[in-house]
Amino acid sequence: MDVLWQYLGQLIGLLKCATVVDQYEGGVLLRLGKYKRTVYPGIVWHLPLYIDEVLTDNIVPTTTNLDTQILTSEDGITVLIGAVLRWRIVDVKKVLLELEDPDDVLFDTAYGMIAQEAQTTDYIGLESDEFRTRVREGIRRRMGKYGIHVEEVFLTDIAITRSFHLT
């Protein structure tokens, strides 16, 4: 009897011709694996039998707390730098179809920009608005081409640390 219910569930799945996109989501409709159109919140009608597929992602602002990095400033001081990003998806088509893992791309870009800017800034400059602005604009520029807008970068931890190298 359980097998019958499984087959019935699969048959219903095959015949499914509508998907609900929630208010906080955006998405794309793929027909036979190719982009057909961008979809918005509400009922999205599509062809059954897996001819059409609807992919969605959250498009509302979100925050990400990046792990603290150990970096060396321009003047040779070893520092800890932590950050929080506030970001949102502005082009769901680019995010869903041009990136394998949007979160990883954003996080790696942010880590890289923070490290690049820290290495060209002295310790005193790390706490300046100019440093934060350079980091934010660098991340924005790189992620904008993939449909992600970084609204703000908050530097949460900037501290001198000692590092030990074992030989």
Which are the contacts of 75, defined by CB distance < 8 A and separation ≥ 6?
122, 123
Q: Where in the chain is the domain with CATH 3.30.479.30?
A: 62-160
Answer yes or no: is pLDDT of 15 > 90.
no
Which tens digit of pLDDT belongs to each residue from 44-92? Answer: 999 988 899 999 999 999 999 999 999 999 999 999 999 999 999 999 9
Average pLDDT across the chain, whole number: 92
User: Which pTM was predicted?
Assistant: 0.85
Counts of helices then strands in the chain (DSSP H, E): 4, 8
Q: Please tell me the predicted confidence (pLDDT) of residue 2.
A: 80
Concatenate the DSSP letters of all residues of 30-83 into one string.
EETTEEEEEE-SEEEE--TTTTEEEEEEE-S-EEEEEEEEEEE-TTS-EEEEEE
Between 128 and 7, whose confidence is greater? Answer: 128
Of 108, 84, 89, 75, the C-alpha closest to 38 is 89
Q: What is d(CA 167, CA 160) in angstroms, rounded to the nearest whole number?
A: 23
Structure tokens at 43: 């009922």
CATH homologous superfamily for 62-160?
A: Band 7 domain (3.30.479.30)
Range name among 118-127, 139-148, 156-165 with the lowest pLDDT average: 156-165
The answer to whether 138 and 116 are in contact (CB under 8 A) is: yes
